[in-house]
Amino acid sequence: MNLIILAGMPATGKSTLAAALSKAFGYPIVEKDNIKEGLFDVLGFENYTQKRRLDHAANEVLLRILRSMLQAGNSLIVDNNFDTESAEKLRGLIENYSPNCITVFLNGDPQTLYERYVERDALHKRHRGHALQEHYPPHPGDDLEYAMTRSEFDEKFVKRGMGTFHCPGARIDMDMTDFSAISIEALTAQVGKLLK
């Protein structure tokens, strides 16, 4: 069985590449953001501490789904910006079930990624629960525009180890600073060779 991991910093295009690889190889995608958005809609949050608990819960659900899929011998794609804690749990699953593991690790210029992240939230390209920090659903009169500072970006993503992810198996490192320089066809061909 094959396990393709899309990992790395936010705003690097993980979901786009995961969808392309899923189409190319026919593997289902397990995506933490999709799980987290469901939790936002069902449970909501009233402060940032509650929001972080939902993030932890989404990681735990993702890892349990992954374990069930690997137990059944199914190949799949995982899309998540693993932090230090969740990466350690993932490595335990890989060591236990021994899939043919391929990591596609996405990174880039930190300032560019920060600016892309802020722009994405400002354009409302994602579920509002990702951008809002205090309440979801928003309360009447809440300011729905939130621009994360660079120091907050570093605290929430860089310092949690998302830019230093490592896992057993083959690894493809991609600089996603300039999306126009990325060839999905070349990535698909490279992953295909590693799957064989």
Q: Between 21 and 155, name the one with better pLDDT.
A: 21
Whole-number pLDDT of residue 185 = 97
* Confidence label for 159 from pLDDT (cuts 50, 70 and 90): confident
* Confidence label for 147 from pLDDT (cuts 50, 70 and 90): confident
Whole-number pLDDT of residue 148 = 87
In order of 8, 158, 159, 177, 181, the CA distances from 164 in angstroms are 8, 8, 10, 17, 23
Into which CATH architecture does domain 2-195 fall?
3-Layer(aba) Sandwich (3.40)
Q: In terms of pTM, does the model score above 0.85?
A: yes
At 177, phi and psi to the nearest 5?
Answer: -60, -40
Whole-number pLDDT of residue 72 = 97
Whole-number pLDDT of residue 38 = 97
Whole-number pLDDT of residue 134 = 87
- Residue extents of the structural domains in the chain: 2-195
Q: Mean pLDDT, the chain, as a whole number?
A: 94
Beta strands in the chain (DSSP E): 2-8, 29-31, 76-79, 100-107, 170-175
Tens digits of residue pLDDT in 38-81: 999 999 999 999 999 999 999 999 999 999 999 999 999 999 99
* Confidence label for 33 from pLDDT (cuts 50, 70 and 90): very high
Nearest to 164 by CA among 94, 106, 118: 106
The rounded radius of gyration (Å) of the Cα atoms in the chain is 17
Q: Residue range 16-35: average pLDDT?
A: 97
Look at residue 144 and tell me whether its pLDDT is greater than 80.
no
